[in-house]
Copies of this chain bind each other. A is one copy, B any other.
Amino acid sequence: MARIYNFSAGPSILPLQALEEAAEKMVDYEGSGMSLVEMSHRGKIYDSVHSETISLTRELLNIPEDYDILLLQGGATLQFGMVPMSFLKEGMTADYVVTGSWAKKALNDGKLIGKVNVAWDGKENNYTTIPDAKDLNLTKDAAYIHICSNETIGGIQWQDFPKTDAPLIADMSSEIMSRPLPWDKLDMVYAGAQKNLAPSGMALIIMKKSLLEKARTDIPAYLQYATHAEANSLYNTPPTFSIWMANLTFKWIKSIGGMAEIEKRRDEKAKLLYDAIDGSNGYYRSPVDAKSRSKMNMVWRLPSEDLEAAFIKEADKEGLSGLKGHRSVGGIRASVYNAMPKEGIVTLVDFMTKFMEKNG
């Protein structure tokens, strides 16, 4: 069995040891005579995995005690709706910063619920840059300010976060757990699991208790944040496999040195790849603003679409998979999530050099 290098944007590469442990214990979980995914979510064994996953989240991201940690279903997509349903009440306005496709999806759900203000829109530059804090047109007493911290399709990322008066809510699906987070600036963070955390089927929500207390409680039970906060995310049956895999992923992160080491590796991998792009004399070209470049999803172009197609095809043959850019923008995209080893980037950069020599 040869593991390939999987640069898919999500679902995406997972730590090998997490997959191996899941395989080993799939039929008989630690001598219990059944799989963890066959067990009652009210039982001791599952509960210990569940609770440990939540406490590892708190430990790794250094989350203050006045934040709740929730593990829900529906991915970030359901959060696009739950956020305005909970917080965008009659007479209020919510600010949305539109940096690309994902931010826009959140905005669209907000519009269906109440009054929204587009605080900034990157359309003019084809969503290739992140705004400066001073350029945001914020509403006084906004219900919240919504941002997408990393745009998977456009390949741009907020390098730091503005300090805002209204609660700042960030969709961090494609970068969660890749760097330490500044809790003095963030009131709510949410993320689908299927990039840096676990297989799909779970969303991680981290929310300041003072914000959660403002959430509406006259909406269906599953859509109320309080339902899940009060029940430690066990109000209904949780997505046990995704949570188990997040548990194994978090243990792997902890074993290598936590967020500090993860961030260091992220920066190293991103530098290797951007240096290869920048050192190619324009053969490889990053379409995004240099200061906004994502360290998770790197996008670049080749001199022609034919060459891009050839690049993707040949890379795939070399075990470098999932490099095709999103269909809405084209080009090349390498999603370099936590579980991607440095060797994957070294192999990719080596391939890029050879491809350029052959086709330059």
A41 at the interface (CB under 8 A from B): yes
- Of A57-65, A214-222, A294-302, the one contacting chain B is A214-222
Chain multiplicity (copies): 2
Q: Which residues of B contact A109 (CB under 8 A)?
A: 220-221
CA distance A116 to B321 in the complex (A): 53
Q: Are B199 and A37 neighbours in the complex by a CB distance under 8 Å? A: yes
Q: Are A12 and B38 neighbours in the complex by a CB distance under 8 Å? A: yes
Residues 1-39 of A, flagged 1 when their CB comes within 8 A of B and 0 if not, give: 111101011111110100110111011100111110111
Q: Which residues of B contact A223 (CB under 8 A)?
A: 78, 81
Q: Are B108 and A238 neighbours in the complex by a CB distance under 8 Å? A: no
Q: Are A28 and B11 neighbours in the complex by a CB distance under 8 Å? A: no
Q: Are B201 and A80 neighbours in the complex by a CB distance under 8 Å? A: no
- Of A90-98, A154-162, A239-247, A285-293, the one contacting chain B is A239-247
Q: Which residues of B contact A34 (CB under 8 A)?
A: 3-4, 6, 13, 321
Q: Which residues of B contact A31 (CB under 8 A)?
A: 1
Q: Which residues of B contact A32 (CB under 8 A)?
A: 4
Q: Are A11 and B240 neighbours in the complex by a CB distance under 8 Å? A: yes
Partner of A33 from the list B1, B235, B236 (CB cut-off 8 Å) is: B1
CA distance A201 to B40 in the complex (A): 14
The smallest C-beta distance from A30 to any residue of chain B, in angstroms, reads 11
CA distance A167 to B282 in the complex (A): 62
Q: When A1-B27, A37-B200, A241-B201 are in contact, do A221 and B322 touch as well, CB less than 8 Å?
A: no
Q: Are B77 and A74 neighbours in the complex by a CB distance under 8 Å? A: no
Q: Are B19 and A39 neighbours in the complex by a CB distance under 8 Å? A: no
Q: Are A238 and B26 neighbours in the complex by a CB distance under 8 Å? A: no
Interface of A, secondary structure class, is loop
Question: Smallest CB-CB separation from A32: which chain B residue?
Answer: B4
Q: Are B11 and A39 neighbours in the complex by a CB distance under 8 Å? A: yes
A192 at the interface (CB under 8 A from B): yes
Q: Are A220 and B80 neighbours in the complex by a CB distance under 8 Å? A: yes
Q: When A81-B219, A201-B73, A221-B105 are in contact, do A35 and B14 touch as well, CB less than 8 Å?
A: yes
Partner of A80 from the list B16, B105, B221, B240 (CB cut-off 8 Å) is: B221
Partner of A10 from the list B201, B237, B242 (CB cut-off 8 Å) is: B237
Q: When A80-B222, A222-B77 are in contact, do A27 and B37 touch as well, CB less than 8 Å?
A: no
A168 at the interface (CB under 8 A from B): no
Question: Smallest CB-CB separation from A113: which chain B residue?
Answer: B220
Q: Are A26 and B23 neighbours in the complex by a CB distance under 8 Å? A: yes
Q: Are A38 and B20 neighbours in the complex by a CB distance under 8 Å? A: no
CA distance A19 to B24 in the complex (A): 11
A319 at the interface (CB under 8 A from B): yes
Q: Are A75 and B322 neighbours in the complex by a CB distance under 8 Å? A: no
Which interface residue of A77, A81, A113, A219 has the most chain B CB atoms within 10 A?
A: A77
Q: Which residues of B contact A325 (CB under 8 A)?
A: none
Q: Are A221 and B77 neighbours in the complex by a CB distance under 8 Å? A: yes
Which A residues form the contact surface with B (CB < 8 A)? 1-4, 6, 8-14, 16, 19-20, 22-24, 26-28, 31-35, 37-41, 43, 73-78, 80-82, 84-85, 105, 108-109, 112-113, 192, 194, 199-202, 218-223, 235-242, 245, 319, 321-322
Q: 5 A–B contact pairs at CB < 8 A?
A: A8-B39, A33-B321, A40-B322, A112-B218, A239-B239
Closest 8 pairs (CB-CB, A-B): A81-B220, A201-B239, A4-B33, A23-B26, A37-B199, A73-B73, A77-B236, A201-B201
